[in-house]
Amino acid sequence: MRKIFTLLTICLLTFTVVAESKGKIEIPLRFDRYYSYDEVVEAMKLLHATYPQLTKLDLVGKSEEGRDIYSLTINNPKTGEALSKPGVYVDGNIHGNEIQAGEVCLYFANLLLTKYGENEKITKVVDKNAYYIIPVVNVDGRFHFLKDAHTSSSSRSFRVPKDDDRDGLLDEDGPDDLDGDGNICMMRIKDPLGDYKTDPEDNRLMVPVKPGEKGEWTILNQEGTDNDSDGRINEDSEGYFDANRNWGSDWQPPYVQTGAGDFPLSAMGVKAIADYIHQRPNIIVNFAFHNSGGMWLRAPSHKDERLDPRDVTVYDLIGKNALKITPGYVYQPSYDLYDTFGDTDSHMFNLEGSYTFVGELFMRSQETYRENVNKPLTPSTESESGSGRRGSNPDESRELLKFNDNLGLNELYKPWKSFKHPTYGDIEIGGWVKLSSRLPHPFMLPELVHRNAMVVLYAAEQTPEISMDIFEVKEIGKDLHQVRVRLQNAKGLPSMSYKAAASKLYTQDMLKLSGAKVIASGRITDLRNNKISYQKYKPEVVYTSVPSYGYTEYQFLVEGKGEITIGYSSTKAGNLTKSTKL
């Protein structure tokens, strides 16, 4: 008996050690698994502790349920303060179920820090820019998605209770995990008058009956019971509040834009993050990662708005390159998918002057089990709607099940099992689990996070690099000099978006001459023919912006002798100073 007890104790201790080691967070981070909310926070704290000279960990704010929203700033103070450099902002998981978006953000942070000083490309972009990374925007949603039973599409909303069925109660009748497996799957019941029959090729699936055929199954609903005894099931789930419809630009009320909230920035997390961003006006490009579709979306987000063609050219520089880095994705304006209002991308572009991209990550087309992946499946006119399906046709669903069987370790699909329902009686529960459908299997995660992080890295390389050249100092009269200055940008992002410059969204770039009296100044419109567009007021200060891969030239007429200094200052492109003698 003692031997048995000793053996049992050793087994339990061994299991404990294995369980603890599996959950241990180490640097470099691993990306063959999904991190819980608490593990994301632990990973960010560990990155900061490991690289304190390059990082700053900020508590941005708290969620409706009191969870912390953290941002990791990556900046090399030896090359300047963060706000003095172009800013690159990256966030993810604004929808709670879109957990791989958070992994892309974590991977990008991990990449910059672990490769700094080792990889020339990484070292250069870290020294050049400041990075602001919020892996999880919807901290409550991520927490509940991984901890509780869900479908692949639930736990998406911010956790703001709502009385969906108008009975005076809040979120009292959502889906229930009836069989206790940690997932909300589908319920079906035997019914000769039902709309579905068992798929003859795979008995786990159902296909619609044809006219005149006898039915076999009726799809009931997602797992659940009538919790509030009102005769309905699952009619008052978690309140739907879409944090990506609650931002400040072009916000519309819920009767126009579903899930928009009561007023702009009414969500605690959205307001906190919007304030955080506004306090970092150097942000010039940003990425908001979502979870599914294989898309790069840019502003504008609705058809009523049009961009300056020069801004479209800047977007295209990054967007078209992104297609080469992430093959199979599409790149398009957000409104080509559908119109939205109050979204992150509009807010960042219209109100913060940042070029913004939405990255929709996972492509279902990668879940293949066939010899020729370039040959598409035969389109089907049959619909599987309502069957807990993954694909849009039976052939697609059959392949997805083979992917589950042969590559997914049978972890993506729950076979149908009998259950005694309190209302419906004998039913079956089964179908796709929560970590399927919109999420890649963990074995596919490393390539996904790397490719998408490389798009961010490319954009970081394209932040403005401004040089200033005093290319002519010429005496044109007694104590009167003609001073000419050229500002040149070696990269693809301008110092300001063309929209921001035209609307004077924030203080424009400035050229300021000091050390002597400035009689006149203006932009050189034709250098060879000596044509200058002089300004009327304050000639010592010129407001400007420097275009993508371009330059701009200015002339000052200066009275006096001695040393003069010309300074260039920019909200998003840094500061420069040069001196010369008259």
Give residue 170's pLDDT band: very low, low, confident or very high (50, 70, 90). confident
Residue 241: which of 482, 65, 3, 49 has the closest Cα? Answer: 65
What is the pLDDT confidence band of residue 540, given thresholds at 50, 70 and 90?
very high
109 class by beta-carbon count within 10 Å (0-12 exposed, 13-18 middle, 19+ buried): buried
Strand bridging mode 509-514 / 517-526: unpaired
- Cα–Cα distance between 188 and 426 in angstroms, integer? 9
Tell me what pLDDT residue 377 has.
65
* The pLDDT of residue 230: 85
Whether 8 shows a pLDDT value over 60: the answer reads no
- 378, 331 in Cβ contact below 8 A? no
C-beta of residue 522 within 8 angstroms of C-beta of residue 482: no
498 has pLDDT over 80: yes
Kindly state the helix (H) or strand (E) to which residue 44 belongs, with its residue range: helix 37-50
Residue 549 has pLDDT above 90, yes or no: yes
Q: Which residue type sits at 306?
A: R
pLDDT for 16 beyond 50: no
Give me the chain's average pLDDT, please. 91
206, β-bridge pairs? 198
Average pLDDT over residues 350-371: 94
φ and ψ at 55, to 5 degrees? -130, 160
Residue 277 has pLDDT above 50, yes or no: yes
d(CA 507, CA 138): 32
**Predicted local distance difference test score (pLDDT) of residue 3:** 37
Tokens in use for 255?
A: 């009767």
Preceding omega of 28 cis (within 30 degrees of 0): yes
3-state SS string for 300-358: CCCCCCCCCHHHHHHHHHHHHHHHHHCCCCEEEEHHHCCCCCCCHHHHHHHHHCCEEEE
Query: Between vectors from CA 218 to CA 216 and to CA 221, what angle results, nearest 5°?
Result: 150
Q: Closest Cα partner for 45 from 25, 31, 64?
A: 25
Residue pLDDT, tens place only, 99-115: 999 999 999 999 999 99
pLDDT at 133: 98
| Omega before 135 within 30 of 0, i.e. cis | no
Domains identified in the chain and CATH numbers: 26-145+261-364+442-461 (3.40.630.10), 466-581 (2.60.40.10)
**How high is the pLDDT of residue 304?**
87
Rounded CA-CA distance 205/191 in Å is 16
* Cβ atoms of 215 and 202 closer than 8 Å: no
Nearest C-alpha neighbor of 101 from the set 148, 63, 139: 139
- For residues 240-263, give the mean pLDDT: 94
Asked if 471 and 488 count as a contact pair (C-beta separation under 8 A), the reply is: no
Q: Which residues contact 293 (CB under 8 A, 6 or more apart)?
A: 360, 361, 362, 363
Q: Is 211 exposed, middle or buried (0-12, 13-18, 19+ CB in 10 A)?
A: exposed
Whole-structure pTM value: 0.92
Mean pLDDT score, 3-21: 34
Residue 435's φ and ψ, nearest 5 degrees, are: -90, 35
Hey, is 296 helix, strand or coil? strand
> In this model, does residue 10 exceed pLDDT 50?
no
**Structure-token match 């049959």, residue found:** 382
CA gap 407, 402 in Å, rounded: 8
C-alpha–C-alpha distance, residues 342 and 512, integer Å: 38
Q: Residue 381 has what pLDDT?
A: 41
State the pLDDT at residue 4: 35
Instruction: Check residue 550 and give its pLDDT.
Output: 97
Dihedral sign of CA atoms 77, 80, 83, 86 in order: negative
7 has pLDDT over 50:
no
pLDDT, position 383: 41
| Top-confidence residue, 45 or 370 | 45
Please check whether residue 558 is in contact with residue 513, taking contact to mean a CB–CB distance below 8 angstroms. Answer: yes
- List of residues 6+ apart from 277 with CB closer than 8 A: 89, 132, 283, 348, 352
Q: Per this entry, what is the length of the chain?
A: 582
Q: Using CA atoms, how far apart are residues 209 and 422, in angstroms rounded to an integer? A: 28
Distance, CA of 355 to CA of 513 (rounded, Å): 30
Q: Tell me the pLDDT tens digit for each residue of 60-113.
A: 999 999 999 999 999 999 999 999 999 999 999 999 999 999 999 999 999 999
Name residue 540's amino acid.
E
pLDDT surpassing 80 at residue 472: yes
Distance CA 378, CA 521 (A): 68
Q: How far apart are CA 517 and CA 559, in angstroms?
A: 5
User: Residue 130 contacts by C-beta under 8 Å, 6 or more apart in sequence?
Assistant: 73, 74, 75, 82, 83, 85, 86, 87, 88, 280, 282
Instruction: Give me the torsion for CA of 113, 115, 121, 123, rounded to 10°.
Output: 50
Largest Cα–Cα separation, the chain: 110
- The per-residue pLDDT for range 127-164, each reduced to its tens digit, is 999 999 999 999 999 999 999 999 999 999 998 888 77
Contact predicate 182/149, CB 8 Å: yes
Sign of the dihedral through C-alpha 154, 158, 164, 166: positive
* Per-residue tokens: 411: 């972890």
Residue 484: both structure tokens together? 């000419």
372: pLDDT confidence band, cut at 50, 70 and 90?
Answer: confident
